[in-house]
Amino acid sequence: MTEEQFSLLCDIIQGKVKKPAIGFIIDSPWLPGWFNIPIINYYSSDELWFKANKKAIETFPEIIFLPGFWAEYGMCTEPSAFGAKCIFPPNDFPNVAKLIFPDNDLRNLAKPNPATDGLLPFVVNRLKLMQDRVNKIGHIYPFAVSRGPLNVASFLLGTTEFLMLLKLEPEKAQYLLEVVTDFICDWLEYQLQNFPSMQGIMILDDLVGFLGKDDFKEFAYPRLKQIFKHFPLKIRFFHNDASCAVCAPFLSEIGINMLNFGIDNNIGEMRRLCGPYVVLVGNIPPRDVLAQGTPDEVRLAVKAQLEKIKGDSRIILSCGGGMPPGVSTENLEAFVNEVGGSF
């Protein structure tokens, strides 16, 4: 992301921009396949990681890619710091083996050190090694990034096991979330200390969308607020491509000013629930339209979205979630051209 693009995002948050921008979250589910390299090569080669991201920004200069030159290892990044086993197939998405806690005894769960533990030092070192090259092509690292507290907790215990813990042993769930949230704050702080260009944070947590209102207020709300209020930065970006109907009314008071949401809720409903001040990033169907549709189907979906957002100045046109695997250059060009042709 360039400094100009980051400034544009800040202007959108202020409601100063009338023409919708285009932005997509891009990372390892899309970039390696689009760049035609195995996923394991994207993770293990600084050079290929840089070239894949560079090709994306050069091919689509009209698009703001979020967070921009993202160093990540899929869902393994944060759980690895707790000692979770990470499984890296040669050309498939990595996954995490859950930790074993007999009788859900979490007392020995220790908060990791982001400077030394798991894959986190490799994330930071990749950014350091490639920083000069990224800067030379006019880009910066604008966001400190982490998976969210419920997301990380679900990988440590297993999704089903974690959701059962919320209902059956809530005090243990609270302890787990306290440790994980404190760690996430440390992890974000470590990134911010290393890269002064970072003036925003980005938190990704789909598990928030699995909760009803009471559970959201008890378990998710205080942890998200702890994170977002701890970092009063220019952009406080939250990604949840599960249902956002429960969390949306609370986002502003949590401290979130930009939301990437999924296809469970239409953009009009999200504006009504979020209020007027949260920037909405979405929400063309990512798989069925952007990845599997034709360019004409992409254009029709974008046209319909543009009709829905008339008069709304806090919009970034995107898909409902991160860029999925299999999105073609032709479909992204159709997306860009439809937006450009409408203004």
- pLDDT of residue 267 exceeding 70, the answer is yes
What's the pLDDT band for 265 if we cut at 50, 70, 90?
Answer: very high
Place of tokens 């589910």: 29
Above 70 in pLDDT, residue 341?
A: no
pLDDT score for 211: 97
Q: Read off the pLDDT of residues 197-254 as tens digits, 9 standing for 90 and up.
A: 999 999 999 999 999 999 999 999 999 999 999 999 999 999 999 999 999 999 999 9
Question: What's the pLDDT tens digit per position in 116-138?
Answer: 999 999 999 999 999 999 999 99
% residues pLDDT > 90 (the chain): 95
Tokens of 205: 């947590």
Which H, E and C letters describe the chain, residue by residue?
CCHHHHHHHHHHHCCCCCCCEEEEECCCCCHHHHHCCCHHHHHHCHHHHHHHHHHHHHHCCCEEEECCCCCCECECHHHHHCCCEEECCCCCCCEEECCCCHHHCCCCCCCCCCCCCCCHHHHHHHHHHHHHHHHHCCCCCCEEEEECHHHHHHHHHCHHHHHHHHHHCHHHHHHHHHHHHHHHHHHHHHHHHHCCCCCEEEEECHHHHHCCHHHHHHHHHHHHHHHHHHCCCCEEEEEECCCCCCCHHHHHHHCCCEEEECCCCCHHHHHHHHCCCCEEEEEECHHHHHHCCCHHHHHHHHHHHHHHCCCCCCEEEEECCCCCCCCCHHHHHHHHHHHHHCC
Beta-bridge mates of residue 296: none
Q: How far apart are CA 112 and CA 213, in angstroms?
A: 30
Token digits of residue 122: 């490799």
> What's the pTM value of the predicted model, to 2 decimals?
0.97
**Interval 153-178 mean pLDDT:** 96
CB atoms within 10 A of CB 23: 24
Residue 342 has pLDDT above 70, yes or no: no
**Is there a cis peptide before residue 89, judged by omega within 30 degrees of 0?**
no
Strand partners, 315: 280
CATH architecture of 3-341: Alpha-Beta Barrel (3.20)
- At 107 the pLDDT is 86
Mean pLDDT, residues 299-308 taken together? 95
What is the rounded distance in angstroms from the CA atom of residue 28 to the CA atom of residue 107? 34
Split at pLDDT 50, 70, 90, the class of 18 is confident
